[in-house]
Structure 1
Amino acid sequence: MSGNTFGLLFSVTNFGESHGPAIGCVIDGCPPGMDLSVEDIQPELDRRRPGTSKFVTQRNEADQVEILSGVYEGKTTGTPIALLIRNTDQRSKDYGDILQTFRPGHADYSYWRKYGLRDPRGGGRSSARLTAPTVAAGAVARKWLREKFGIEFRGCMTQIGELEIPFESWEHVPNNPFFAPVADTSALERYMEALRKSGDSCGARLRVTATHVPAGLGEPLYDKLDADIAHAMMGLNAVKGVEIGAGFAAVSDKGSTHGDTLTPEGFVGNKAGGVLGGISTGQDIEVSIAIKPTSSILVPRASIDTAGQATELITKGRHDPCVGIRATPIAEALLALVLMDHALRHRAQCGDVHLSQPAIPGHVA
């Protein structure tokens, strides 16, 4: 199976299965000399881990990360960094009934057609469990970018099911299980409680931003910064749509109002989402993603088995009624991995161009 490595100069290879003994990743290309310990990585994994509220899967994984290589006396050595997260709460028996059937909306059928077999335990490689190593790798990238440029990453939920969530303040996001930017989440709780009791699921929309991004990251045409961001976000389980800046709202806009005006003081507006011509402008990177409803639900659905015969099934086990609830830290990590890779690529090609210089008079990149 190919397609498990992301990034060019800062590359991350993800390995493991949902119900295997462990999952993890190997990071290649991290610059040497950066202080790095488990304490730098674990807080991000704790934000993503399952079992943290009644609104997410009750699979209780500690998600304790281990650094196996690439760090000596507390500093990165420039050699591959291997990160391991052991699985401790698998219940593979929950999937015994679907060995010969395909769950609608899942990767069961497509994996079976491609490889001739599949691992049904928790979805195997297609499980959202495999996003934990991504978050761990993203924590390494976040630290380097913060120390080098002061870049910070934030994310929040802006819609769950049919409920739109108004933006009040970033300070509310860490204080509720939805990563919602509002003080009162009682309406979201009631909605999820009814959904859970019905055995159904819903989708979500998330917003992710990166601030203090220097101008000049990204490359023309096929390696555009926004193209790589979209590529990364579509690699996240259940993502079916990605918008940069105004996104699809640009369709109904006019050219006279859509372009972000430049003034001696800087840009007016950010409909471009911080990227022009595939290269960062020094503005905030703004990304929005759409996540589909969880496919594992208790509502009976029609399907077929491996013999092509009609059947009906429900999906047992412990599942998130909305996978978007825990996806914010993952989307932040993916954005960090893209910017980290492009920062190193810029340094390799354009080392004489100082990213810290103001892009335009009066504008701090």
Structure 2
Amino acid sequence: MNGNSFGRLFQVTTFGESHGEAMGVTVSGCPAGLELDEDDVQADLDRRKPGQSMITTSRGEPDHVSIKSGLQDGYTTGTPIGMVIENKDARSEKYEPFVTAPRPSHGDFTYSAKFGTRNWGGGGRSSARETVNWVAAGAVAKKILAEEGVELKAHVNQIGDIEAPAVSFEEIKEHSEDNEVRCAHPETAEQMRERIDEYQQDGDSIGGSIYFEARGVPRGLGAPRFDSVEARLGQAMMSVPASTAFEFGLGREAREYTGSERNDEWEFEDPENPDESDPVPTENDHGGLQGGITTGEPIYGEVTLHAPTSIPKTQTTVDWETGEETDEQVIGRHDPVLPPRGVPVVEAMLALTLVDFMLLGGRINPDRVDDRPGEYDTEYHPSSPRNE
């Protein structure tokens, strides 16, 4: 099975199934000399983990990360970083009715059709449980970006037909973690929570969307066509389980704009000193991307996630072994809505994409040992090629 790796220079490869012994990820290409420990990773895993509120699955996973390789004395060595998160609360017996009777809108039948077999406990490899690996890797990428002056954040901007008004990047940073919906607009968050409760009480689920933004990204990243930033970012976001749409800048609203309305005109960054100033766009309807390359302006966009497909309402399926139609209920511990726990996942994929582009563009030193303080300075490593 291919499709388990993401990135080119900063490459992430994952393993594990929903009800297997553990989930795991290897991060290759992380620069040496980055200060890193398990707490850095755990902070984001705690935002994604199940059981954190009444609007998430009650599956009791602590999602404790263990870093197995790639660190020495609290710093990255430049070798692959291996991380493992054990599964502690799998209950596969609830999935036995669906071994040969696929759940509606899941990967049960398609996985079986492709491979002739599948790990059916909890959905196996197709489960959104797998995103725990992405968030772990994304935490490493975020730490790199922070040292390069890049900030990123996301929040839930819509649940069902309830949409939050536009909020500033500072408001997202300040308020998105204030409520269990992870919406940075408190009044809208309350309305969203009430709507989620309604669907949950009815044995149903509801979809929504996540707004993301990154600031401090240098201009000049990306390449035309297939390696454009939006192409790679689209791949990242459309890999998120339940994603049905990815937008950047004006997104789908761009179809309602004329060229003169959408076009970003140019001005000098410092009009009083044009000879010493770079051109900058007067607005940012393009979401920080023009010609597939970053402009230096904020990158922003939105990811839509459909309603969770595992719901307790009775649904119709067929059993390919008996040849009979059957009515089944998906009994288990499932989220009634995905965006609140999807926020750290979207942030992780944004961070992984940006770090990869920054390494490709030479904006990050791939070997940072010289930056390590005191006892870690290269003068203590006479065999270093840089000292020859």
- TM-score (ref. length: structure 1): 0.93
CA distance in 2, matches of 1:189, 1:231: 30
- Rounded to whole Å, the distance in 1 between the matches of 2:68 and 2:364 is 31
Corresponding letter in the other structure for 1:337: L
The corresponding residue for 1:311 is: 326
1:323-351 CA distances to partner (integer Å, 9 max, x unpaired)? 22210110000000000111111119999
Tell me which residue corresponds to 2:191: 187
Counterpart for residue 2 of structure 1? 2
Deviation at 1:29, TM superposition (A): 0.6
Cross-structure match for 2:23: 23
Tell me how far apart the structure 2 counterparts of residues 283 and 348 of structure 1 sit (CA, whole Å): 16
Whole-angstrom CA distance in 1 between matches of 2:3 and 2:97: 29
SS of equivalent residue, structure 1 residue 175: coil
SS in 2 for 1:327: helix
Is the CA contact 1:30–1:79 (under 8 Å) kept in the aligned structure 2?
yes
1:66-98 deviation line (CA, Å, top 9, x unaligned): 100000111111111001101111111121221
Change (3 A) 1:35 1:348: closer
CA distance in 1, matches of 2:346, 2:363: 26
**Identity in percent:** 41
Please list, as runs of the form range in 1=range in 2, the aligned pairs for 1:144-163 lying within 5 A after superposition: 144-148=144-148, 150-163=149-162
Q: Which runs of 4+ in 1 moved over 4 A?
A: 348-351
Instruction: Indicate conservation of the 8 Å contact 1:260/1:271, yes or no.
Output: yes
CA contact (8 A) 1:166 1:181 kept: no
Distance 2:23 2:138 in 1: 15
CA–CA distance in 2 between the matches of 1:345 and 1:140?
A: 17
CA distance in 1, matches of 2:164, 2:326: 38
Q: How does 1:39-118 map to 2 (within 5 A)?
A: 39-118=39-118
- Aligned equivalents of 2:252, 2:197: Cα separation in 1: 31
1:120 corresponds in structure 2 to 120
Aligned partner of residue 350 in structure 2, secondary structure: helix
Matches within 5 A, 1:126-275: 126-148=126-148, 150-168=149-167, 169-170=171-172, 171-184=174-187, 185-265=189-269, 266-275=280-289
In the TM superposition, what are the counterparts of 1:30-41 in structure 2 within 5 Å? Answer: 30-41=30-41
Specify the SS of the correspondent of 2:199: helix
Aligned to 1:357: none
Change (3 A) 1:173 1:106: same
User: Quick one: which amino acid aligns to residue 45 of structure 1?
Assistant: L
Corresponding residue for 2:340? Answer: 325
Answer yes or no: is the 8 Å Cα contact 1:238–1:291 preserved in 2: yes
Deviation string, structure 1 residues 126-173 (Cα, Å, up to 9, x no partner): 11110011001001011111102x101110111101211223432221
Matched with 1:356 is none
Q: Report the Cα offset of residue 186 of structure 1.
A: 2.5
SS in 2 for 1:297: coil
SS in 1 for 2:69: coil
Paired residues of 2:359 and 2:365 also in contact (CA < 8 A): no
- Decide which structure has the larger Cα Rg and report it: 2
* SS of residue matched to 1:174: coil
Which residue of 351, 356, 362 corresponds with 1:347? 362
**Structure 2 gap segments, 5+ residues each:** 270-279, 367-388
1:167–1:181 Cα contact (<8 Å) kept:
no
In the alignment of these two chains, the number of paired residues is 350
- Which SS does the other structure have where 1:123 is aligned? helix
- Alpha carbons 2:18, 2:121 under 8 Å: kept: yes
Measure how far apart 1:220 and its partner are.
1.4
CA contact (8 A) 1:22 1:85 kept: yes
Alpha-carbon shift at residue 309 of structure 1 (Å):
3.0
* Distance apart, 1:51 and its partner CA: 0.4
> 1:92 is matched by which residue type in structure 2?
S
Output the aligned Cα RMSD: 1.6
How many angstroms apart in 1 are the aligned matches of 2:364 and 2:46? 36
Say which SS state the counterpart of residue 26 (structure 1) adopts: strand
Aligned partner letter, 1:312: D
Amino acid in the other structure paired with 1:261: E
- 1:228-285 C-alpha deviation (Å, 9 max, x unpaired): 0000001110001000111111111000010122111332221111111111110111
